A and B are shown apart, each in its own frame.
Chain A
Amino acid sequence: MNTLILKTASKFLLPLLLMFSVFLLLRGHYLPGGGFVGGLVASIAFVLHAFAYDMQSSRRLLRVHPGFLIPAGLALAALSGIFPMVYSDLPFMTGVWYPESVPVIGSIGTALFFDIGVYLVVVGSVLTIIMTLSESA
């Protein structure tokens, strides 16, 4: 597809959508949102870019192979669950929080890293599926 309007719009929409996805990721602990939705929004940003340009250029934009994001996210999520076991002999997945509040992000704890892991897995798997489909089409 080669339309000027979509190309121009997607240039602005890509960073906006990515920022929105991070916003969703961060507010997700108590409010609607979280890693899963955030990841979906982020992958939509890349899909939109791929519609406007082509798959190759959005893949370059992503820099890493989306297939790499899946184990990376899984590892981060698993380690965030294991951290309390190693750190203070608490059960798997116990929330451990940094006592001080951090500006913009809010409180930092293992749950945040778990969500970031989910985010990466979702981006990785959605983009892997879509890129594989678009290559075989």
Chain B
Amino acid sequence: MSPQLIFWPVLFQLLLAVALLFLWRKVQVQRAVSIAGSTVAVVLSAALFTLTLRDGIGTVQAGNWPAPFGIALVSDTLSSLLVLLTSLAGLAVSVFSSASVTGARLKFGYFPVFHILLMGLNGAFLTGDLFNLYVWFEVIIICSFVLITLGTERKQLEGAVKYFTLNMLASIIFLTAIAVIYGLTGSLNLADISIQIAAIENRFLVEIAAVLFFVGFGIKSAVFPLYFWLPASYHTPPDAVSAIFGGLLTKVGVYAYLRIFTLIFAGDAFIRELLVTAAILTIVSGALGALIQNNLRKVFSYLIVCHIGFMIVGIGLGTETAYAGTVSYLIHDIVVKTNLFLVAGLIFRVKGSVSLRDIGGLYKRYPWLSLLIAVPLFSLVGIPPLSGFWPKISLFGAATETRSFWVLGALIFGSVLTLIIVAKVWAAAVWKEPSGKNPPVKMVLFDQISKERRILYVLPIVLLSLVSLYIGFGAEHIQEIAGRVAADLINPDAYIEAVLYPAGKSSP
């Protein structure tokens, strides 16, 4: 493949954002351009993914400066896979936004900022440079701050303050960690650091850097005890925004964990234990949190926290099976969590409320819609052929293999509680008789909006549900990819080789 292709998922989103900025006041055109552009982005990232699968790791040096000095962009299986999933989630949310986000928000640049956010996500997944990773994190945080405050409702601002303060703190800690690493190795290129870090004699400082990374990314990916900002803020913005946040933003933190702790601090026993402990507590506290919530969006927010634990635990266990479990869980979770928040948005549009007490009777009114909602909900639990099942099997396997029975216990606890919560949501939203008293609703409900808009509401959920179903039924393919990523993570030599000694430059 032409290595230039690696830039395009990032660049295309930038160009899209620029085009949308030119169309500042033309909201109707913006909708069409965003959807069309997101479709192209899916094609581009699918091309990158298939070519990466076929030809192996691709690298390219921005500005043509050779490897440890310039900024390398690396497309290995994990990166290109996440870029593809980002584009898919981006397409779904873009379609959903075009129907659900109010005109006032669109007039203040919702779509341009949304696409810059996607650019930031793609950049973070593709970069092979530690400081560049920080820059992409900043792009993401600035965009997400705009998206979370856009519309300036009171509760939005309250959520945004919590969100911004803690994420800013995380960035500062992350930056400090980079400074320590740069001071120790004199390099920012991940592959180069990976080689140099082994020769550092001051192991104490290396350990400190590792802990700083753990805390910095821990806040971003909402790990116990650093997750409190997430349920406090994710339910406040419009559902389309929550969907992209819930589906992708915390996963950037998980991705960073995967990269840093396999490439730089591989085999660090202390960090391993830290990760496992934090993950167990994350699973337990997230699941218990979700159990007592009554607001649908808050339930899903706590479930994000709970399932982040599932992924972190795999990184902590650090065997090949565990990594495979983490990666396939990541694939499943991005799709399902994005979808769940879209579902919450749909239910809100149908019933005018997201409180579990007020909603109900969905099955009576919209049987087909209920069936559709069943797909993401039951995929989340992992009812056997659906998508959550296979990653959990890998994680259970990894826990038994390493004889970590606390982990196994936490995983089972988390799964059972997720099942209870999903059953509760299903019973409340779909089967329960609608409560007799209908609270006065100040919005246009689902049955009153035009047919085109209704299709735009349902279409993204259908799209993501199909992807979910594919992950469940095409599990063999997904497991194969996850296994390949896990093998790459266990043995990063190919990554290092591809970055530092690309074809034409011989290794020493």
* B residues near A89, Cβ cutoff 8 Å: 2, 4
| A67 on the B face (CB < 8 A) | yes
**Other A-B pairs beyond A74-B17, A89-B4, 11, CB < 8 Å:** A68-B22, A70-B21, A74-B18, A75-B18, A78-B11, A90-B64, A91-B3, A91-B4, A91-B7, A91-B61, A93-B62
6 closest Cβ pairs, A-B complex: A71-B21, A94-B64, A93-B63, A92-B7, A75-B18, A74-B18
B363 within 8 A of A: no
The residue in chain B whose Cβ has the minimal distance to the Cβ of A90 is B64
Interface size on A, residues (CB 8 A): 18
B283 at the interface (CB under 8 A from A): no
Contact mask B307-337 → A, CB, 8 Å, 1/0?
0000000000000000000000000000000
B residues at A contact (CB < 8 Å): 2-4, 7, 11, 14-15, 17-19, 21-22, 24, 60-64
Q: In whole angstroms, how far apart are the Cα atoms of A67 and B24 in the complex?
A: 9
Measured CB to CB, the closest approach of chain B to A29, in angstroms, equals 14
Whether the pair A78, B4 counts as a contact (CB closer than 8 A) is: no
Inter-subunit contact B63/A91 (CB<8 Å): yes
Given contacts A71-B18, A78-B15, are A85 and B7 in contact (CB under 8 A)? Answer: yes
Q: In angstroms, how far is the closest chain B Cβ from the Cβ of A14?
A: 27
Most B CB contacts (10 A, CB to CB) among A71, A85, A92 go to: A92
Q: Is the CB of B61 within 8 A of A74?
A: no
Pick the residue among B2, B21, B63 that contacts A92 (CB under 8 A). Answer: B63
Asked whether any CB of chain B lies closer than 8 Å to the CB of A95, the reply is: yes
Inter-chain CB contacts under 8 Å: number: 45
Q: Is A108 an interface residue (CB 8 A)?
A: no
Q: Which residues of chain B have C-beta atoms less than 8 A from A74's C-beta?
A: 14, 17-18, 21
Pick 13 A–B contacts, CB within 8 A, sort by A.
A67-B24, A71-B21, A71-B22, A75-B15, A75-B18, A84-B64, A85-B4, A91-B60, A91-B62, A91-B63, A92-B7, A92-B11, A94-B63
Q: Is A82 at the interface (CB under 8 A from chain B)?
A: yes
Proximity bits, A82-104, B CB within 8 Å = 1, else 0: 10110001111111000000000
**Residues in A lying within 8 Å of B, measured CB to CB:** 67-68, 70-71, 74-75, 78, 81-82, 84-85, 89-95
Residues of B within 8 A of A78 (CB): 11, 14-15, 18
Q: Closest Cβ of chain A: how far from B125's Cβ, in Å? A: 16
Residues of A within 8 A of B4 (CB): 85, 89, 91-92
- Chain A nearest Cβ from B300, distance in angstroms: 35
Question: Given the complex of chains A and B, what is the CA–CA distance between A3 and B21 in angstroms?
Answer: 38
Kindly list chain B residues whose C-beta atoms are within 8 Å of the C-beta of A67: 24
Most A-side CB within 10 Å, residue of B2, B3, B18, B24? B18
B64 to chain A, nearest CB (A): 4
For A90, list chain B residues within 8 Å (CB): 64
Task: Verify B63–A95 contact, CB threshold 8 A.
Answer: yes
**In the complex, what distance in Å separates the CA atom of A85 from the CA atom of B62?**
11
How distant is B66 from chain A, measured CB to nearest CB, in Å? 11
Once the chains are docked, how many angstroms separate the CA of A131 from the CA of B61? Answer: 40
B60 → chain A closest CB, angstroms: 5
Within the assembled complex, what's the spacing in Å between the Cα atoms of A74 and B19? 10
Q: In chain A, what residue has the closest Cβ to B15?
A: A78
